[in-house]
Amino acid sequence: MKYCSNCGKEIVKMIPEGDNIERYVCLHCNTIHYQNPKIIVGTIPIYEDKILLCKRAIEPQYGKWTIPAGFLELGERVEEGAIRETKEEANANVEIIKLQTVYSIPKISQVYLLFLAKLLDLDFSPGHETLATKLFSFEEIPWNEIAFTAVKFALKTYIDDKKNNRLEMTHVGFYPQHI
């Protein structure tokens, strides 16, 4: 960031008065430009004892399997974003059941909010960011081909919850610091 989005003047990186974190500040109009984590929202679409996964048609992790998820848009509720991403990536109609997983990756400034969702029909197909869509039983999930740690965590905790009849829980996960 070089210029203030408020007035267009050059900005400096400094710790503003009353703060303890270095931020971009415009000394002309006194605007502090906060940089916050990106919010990723998505669903674990379920139908009976199967989970709908999408094979990615974009980087990162091209050709790997994931759940339908993506960046939350401005002005959008997290549930709306999760439903929108599911429609965009899998052309699937879902109904949110509950928040399943909150997963933080501070190293890349991302926070995942992943919802358990009921697949309303079997009329799904790949969207423009997806090579293929497929329902997988728990035993069929291609674990070595899952794209992201947050997705692996969400899938494993959902399957564990389902097998142990603990579906009222929401799980919080943290990306390992050493990676």
Q: What tens digit of pLDDT does each residue of 21-30 get?
A: 999 999 999 9
Write down the pTM of the prediction. Answer: 0.88
| 66 touches 54 (CB < 8 A) | yes
Tell me which fold the domain 1-35 belongs to: Ubiquitin Ligase Nedd4; Chain: W; (2.20.70)
Asked if residue 171 has pLDDT above 90, the reply is no
The predicted model gives 99-106 an average pLDDT of 94
- The predicted pLDDT at position 176 comes to 66
Domain positions in the chain = 1-35, 38-174
H-helix or E-strand spanning residue 143: none
The predicted model gives 85-106 an average pLDDT of 96
Tell me what the pLDDT averaged over the chain comes to. 94
Tell me which fold the domain 38-174 belongs to: Nucleoside Triphosphate Pyrophosphohydrolase (3.90.79)
Distance CA 46, CA 15 (A): 47
Phi, psi of 130 (to 5 degrees): -130, 135
The predicted model gives 108-130 an average pLDDT of 97
- The predicted pLDDT at position 178 comes to 44
pLDDT band at 32 (very low <50, low <70, confident <90, very high): very high
Asked if residue 61 has pLDDT above 80, the reply is yes
Of 80, 54, 53, 82, the C-alpha closest to 70 is 82
For tokens 């509950």, the residue is 98
Q: Choose between 146 and 167: higher pLDDT.
A: 146
Asked if residue 73 has pLDDT above 70, the reply is yes
Domains 1-35 and 38-174 share a fold: no
Report which residue type is found at 139: E
Asked if residue 14 has pLDDT above 70, the reply is yes
| Helix, strand, coil in percent for the chain, rounding step 5 | 20, 35, 40
Of 64, 70, 66, 72, the C-alpha closest to 53 is 66
β-strands 69-71, 94-105 pairing: unpaired
- The predicted pLDDT at position 166 comes to 85
Structure tokens at 121: 């029909």
